[in-house]
């Protein structure tokens, strides 16, 4: 069981890491290309949602481990606490910041869920690491991808789907090569 969890932790974020770093690099271009210039401010929402997905991809592994270790009650308590944080924070932030406040609340709540899930799993199953080397490698590859896409973005203004495709292709290639 411990080895299965370790392997799952290593590769759970294989796609969510480049999605986050890609959104960080060209979210405005993506949003404007799909929805138009009047929605450019939604780029921040896209970055927040991809960050949420990145954290959630890691959290899901620990939640699954708790269930496999026969502690579904602990997982339910964590989910209940997370929902409470998400709703309370969401209500507070939506009035002040609008949609981005809801996204921020979701990211904070999911990070809270992640920390509780890691703690609960680690205290019940010794030897399960938090950050495995493959995950660190993915983050490094994502960072390199981000830098290359930002540099390319400065050289290639996005005016069409072709230029956006070139940037996405550059990022995909960079991520794959570094990994």
The pLDDT of residue 3: 65
Q: Is residue 28 a contact partner of residue 166, using CB atoms and an 8 Å limit?
A: no
How far CA 108 is from CA of 48, 93, 100, 123, in Å, comes to: 10, 11, 12, 23
Please check the confidence at residue 6 and state whether its pLDDT lies above 90. Answer: no
pLDDT over 60 at 145, yes or no? yes
Please, which residues have CB within 8 angstroms of residue 62's CB and are 6 or more apart in sequence? 5, 9, 114, 117, 118, 120, 121
164: number of Cβ within 10 Å: 19
pLDDT exceeding 70 applies to what percent of the chain? 94
Computed over every residue of the chain, the mean pLDDT equals 92
Q: pTM of the entire structure?
A: 0.91
pLDDT at residue 119 above 70?
yes
Taking only the tens place, the pLDDT of each residue in 77-106 is 999 999 999 999 999 999 999 999 999 999
More confident residue, 68 or 79: 79
């Amino acid at each position: 069981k411990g080895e299965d969890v370790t392997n799952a932790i290593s590769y759970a974020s294989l796609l969510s890491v480049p999605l986050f770093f890609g959104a960080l690099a060209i979210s405005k271009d993506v949003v404007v290309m799909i929805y138009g210039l009047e929605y450019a401010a939604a780029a921040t929402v896209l970055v927040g949602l991809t960050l949420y997905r990145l954290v959630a991809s890691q959290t899901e592994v620990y939640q699954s481990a708790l269930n496999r270790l026969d502690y579904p009650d602990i997982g339910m308590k964590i989910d209940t606490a997370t929902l409470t944080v998400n709703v309370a924070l969401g209500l507070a932030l939506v009035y002040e910041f609008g949609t981005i406040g809801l996204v921020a609340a979701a990211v904070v709540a999911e990070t809270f869920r992640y920390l509780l899930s890691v703690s609960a799993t680690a205290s019940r199953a010794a030897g399960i690491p938090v950050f495995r080397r493959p995950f660190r490698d993915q983050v490094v590859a994502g960072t390199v991808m981000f830098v290359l896409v930002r540099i390319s973005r400065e050289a290639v203004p996005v005016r069409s789907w072709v230029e956006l495709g070139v940037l996405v292709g550059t990022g995909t290639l960079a991520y794959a090569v570094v990994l």
